[in-house]
Amino acid sequence: MIRGVKGSLLAAVSLALVGCAASNGETASAGDKPAEKPVKFNKDPYPSTYKAYPGQVTAVRNVTIFDGEGGRIDNGTVLLANGKVEAVGGPDTPIPADVAVYDGTGKFLTPGIIDIHSHLGDYPSPSVEAHSDGNEMTSPTTPEVWSEHSVWPQDPGFSRALANGGVTSLQILPGSANLMGGRSITLKNVPSRTVQGMKFPGAPYGLKMACGENPKRVYGGKGRAPSTRMGNYAVNRATWQKAVAYKKKMDDGKAVDRDLAMETLVGVLSGEILVHNHCYRADEMALVIDMSKEFGYKVSTFHHAVESYKIADILAKEGICSAMWADWWGFKMEAYDSVNENIPLVYKAGACTIVHSDDANQIQRLNQEAAKARAAGRRIGVDVSDELAWTWLSYNPAKALGIADKTGSLKPGKMADVVLWNGNPFSAYTRPEKVWIDGALMFDANDPKRRPVSDFELGQPGEGDVK
């Protein structure tokens, strides 16, 4: 489809509307007369070069399937072909002759986990000062920076997330030192020489924002605004006001000087770029919701969101996702009111529920975090089935990232991003056995050659170890 419309102005505009990273980058309106029309800037100057690796037609039979949208098939069959999910069904699902067939008896098959909050690559291992590339702590608002320009593709953490965590896509965010930390990027979890080789084709950009303690501490500590929560909002509002004026100028057809910061914010105001807002406290989330209405944008997801349970009804009504930990608490004041039932209470209220990591270790066991949250819910009578709980790990984050039409569930035609687990993935005793990304087998616990080793680990102690 993208190939078919390449080159036409109409196509360029429509692709730009969804911030399509797979467009060919020809969004500048070369045919327009500069004097009369506003200059259009290339919205995709660092385009994805990711291409699915070769896969073979693969079937898994006799397996328990969670389809990612809340469905479950016992004794199921899945067929992957041409990088896509070809068929999902019961034992009588037809399988072509001469394809690789795996017996899934006693095993479980799910969509790959999608971590909506990661700093792999921008805070990589080893976490030496030379690698500290996640926070541009020189101004409280830096919407002009793009996390993809910090991502080190050789971070060994990507391989751990794949092999131990079954993570097939992830969003890399700037840190939370700034109110507006910059653009995020969604990646396919495939090793690559370049970050462009990991960029998820067609995924919209995100804007990382942050409430609360971090921005006011960082900038208050430098003797400048913001130093208080009210300062946080004042700086945010002034910046949004500037963006609204910049957008109006563009909408009115007036020429504007290119401003990379404003370009990102106009993308948010136009609905092309999704807001991912680090915010712990319920009262602050409510204020952010009003601020978003004041300036005309929408928050996709509150991240960390330890107090979402206090306003789960409001979040459900506003259609805002909460990306949460199962039980992190106590490390800072705004994480003091964490409860183990946050995730199930948000789910119970009918609000979009996501399990996230923000951590190079926890990204390796998001399934386990979901299991703990599910158990905590069950103890208070919120009984969530395994298959529904899986929506927290793949489909809901895919929706919040704007990629649910492409991945996040096992529906025919979607990307074959699939994990075969050696048992129920909500057990501590279970690990990924095989992971496919776009139908290519990228990890196989039974084959040491299907275990990525980053450049950094080559020739070091433990190279190619099980990790």
Partner 1 sequence: MMRALLLSAAAIVALPAAAQDVAIVNAKLVIGDGSAPIDGGTVVVRGGKVVAAGAGVAVPAGVERVDAQGKYVTPGIVAAFSRVGLTEVDAVTGTNDRSAPRTRFSAGLDIAPALNPMGSPVAVNRASGVTRAIVAPGSSSNLFAGQGAVVDLADDMDMVTKPRALQYVAFGEDGSAKAGGSRAATFLLFREQLLAARSYARNPATLAEWGNDAMIQRADADALVRVIDGTTPLFVRVDRAADIVNVLKLRQDFPALKLVLVGVTEGWLVARDIAAAKVPVLVSPLTDLPSTFEQLGATQSNAGRLKAAGVDVSVGVFDDDDAHKMGYATQYAGNLVGLARVPGASGMTWDQAFASISSVPARAVGMEGSIGSLRPGRAGDVVIWDNDPLELGSRPTAVWIDGKAQSLTTRQDRLRDRYTTPQEGALPKAYDR
Q: Closer to partner 1 by CB, 157 or 215: give it.
A: 157
Q: Which of 4, 223, 253, 462 binds partner 1 (CB under 8 A)?
A: 462
Single out the segment in contact with partner 1 by CB under 8 A; choices: 43-51, 177-185, 199-207, 457-465: 457-465
465 binds partner 1 (CB under 8 A): yes
Helix 282-295 × helix 229-251 angle, to 10°: 20
Instruction: Kindly give, in sequence order, each residue whose CB lies less than 8 Å from that of residue 220, ignoring residues fewer than 6 positions away.
Output: 226, 227, 228, 231
216 binds partner 1 (CB under 8 A): no
446 binds partner 1 (CB under 8 A): yes
Nearest-CA neighbor of 206 among 236, 187, 185, 177?
185
**Geometric angle at alpha carbon 182, from 253 and 359, rounded to 5°:** 150
Single out the segment in contact with partner 1 by CB under 8 A; choices: 101-109, 191-199, 251-259, 370-378: 370-378
In the complex, least distance from residue 65 CB atom to partner 1, rounded to whole angstroms? 21
**Residue 450 amino acid letter:** R
**Geometric angle at alpha carbon 394, from 267 and 176, rounded to 5°:** 50
Distance CA 213, CA 216 (A): 6
125: tokens are: 């291992």
CB atoms closer than 10 angstroms to residue 215: 29
**Exposure string for 120-138, b = 16+ CB within 10 A, e = fewer:** bbbbbbeeeeebebbbbbe
28: tokens are: 């500048």
Q: Closer to partner 1 by CB, 197 or 423: give it.
A: 423
CB atoms closer than 10 angstroms to residue 461: 6
385 binds partner 1 (CB under 8 A): no
44 binds partner 1 (CB under 8 A): no
Distance CA 140, CA 91 (A): 56
Q: Closer to partner 1 by CB, 374 or 399: give it.
A: 374
Q: Closer to partner 1 by CB, 40 or 229: give it.
A: 229
Q: Closer to partner 1 by CB, 43 or 374: give it.
A: 374
Compute φ and ψ for 212, nearest 5 degrees. Answer: 75, -140
Q: Closer to partner 1 by CB, 241 or 460: give it.
A: 460
213 binds partner 1 (CB under 8 A): yes
Single out the segment in contact with partner 1 by CB under 8 A; choices: 79-87, 176-184, 369-377, 390-398: 369-377
Q: Which of 14, 105, 385, 460 binds partner 1 (CB under 8 A)?
A: 460
Q: Are 398 and 204 in contact (CB under 8 A)?
A: no
86 binds partner 1 (CB under 8 A): no
- CA 239, 240, 241, 243 dihedral sign is positive
Q: Total residues contacting partner 1 (rule CB under 8 A)?
A: 65
Distance CA 462, CA 126 (A): 15
Compute φ and ψ for 175, nearest 5 degrees. Answer: -70, -170
In the complex, least distance from residue 446 CB atom to partner 1, rounded to whole angstroms? 5
Q: Which helix (H) or strand (E) holds 227?
A: none
In the complex, least distance from residue 428 CB atom to partner 1, rounded to whole angstroms? 3
Single out the segment in contact with partner 1 by CB under 8 A; choices: 2-10, 62-70, 399-407, 421-429: 421-429
422 binds partner 1 (CB under 8 A): yes
Bridge-based pairing state of the strands 418-421 and 432-437: antiparallel
Looking at residues 158 to 177 of the shown chain, list those that interact with partner 1 (rule: CB under 8 A): 160, 164
129 binds partner 1 (CB under 8 A): no
Q: Are 431 and 44 in contact (CB under 8 A)?
A: no
215 binds partner 1 (CB under 8 A): no
Considering only CA atoms, give the Rg of the chain: 22
Looking at residues 312 to 351 of the shown chain, list those that interact with partner 1 (rule: CB under 8 A): 312-314, 327-333, 336-341, 345, 349
Single out the segment in contact with partner 1 by CB under 8 A; choices: 40-48, 60-68, 296-304, 368-376: 368-376
Q: Closer to partner 1 by CB, 255 or 380: give it.
A: 380
Distance CA 123, CA 384 (A): 34
Single out the segment in contact with partner 1 by CB under 8 A; choices: 32-40, 60-68, 184-192, 459-467: 459-467
Distance CA 145, CA 180 (A): 10
Q: Which residues bind partner 1 (CB under 8 A)?
A: 125-128, 156-157, 160, 164, 213, 309-314, 327-333, 336-341, 345, 349, 359-362, 364-365, 368, 371-376, 378-380, 422-423, 426-431, 445-446, 448, 456-457, 460-462, 465-467
